Amino acid sequence: MPKSTEPTTETLAETENYLVWKAEEPDGETTYHVELGNMTIHFFKEEWEEFLELARALEG
């Protein structure tokens, strides 16, 4: 059976206006996506971890 060329996706969090999801890419890479209205920000795993660290720093 041929290997799938489509990523496997999972929603991590969602509100009325925003969505965060991750994709397990066929090449083994995990990417994270933050949808803010009509804009989507894409992160590789290392970038995502740094972004979460930044967001936690906002909490005080």
Residue 14 tokens, joined = 């969602």
In-domain check, residue 41? yes
> Which domain range does residue 26 map to?
9-58
In-domain check, residue 1? no
* pLDDT by position in tens, the chain (length 60): 566 789 999 999 999 999 999 999 999 999 999 999 999 999 999 999 999 999 999 987
Total domains in the fold of the chain: 1
In-domain check, residue 22? yes
Q: What is the chain's percent helix, strand, coil content, to nearest 5?
A: 25, 45, 30
What does the pLDDT read at residue 1? 56
In-domain check, residue 3? no
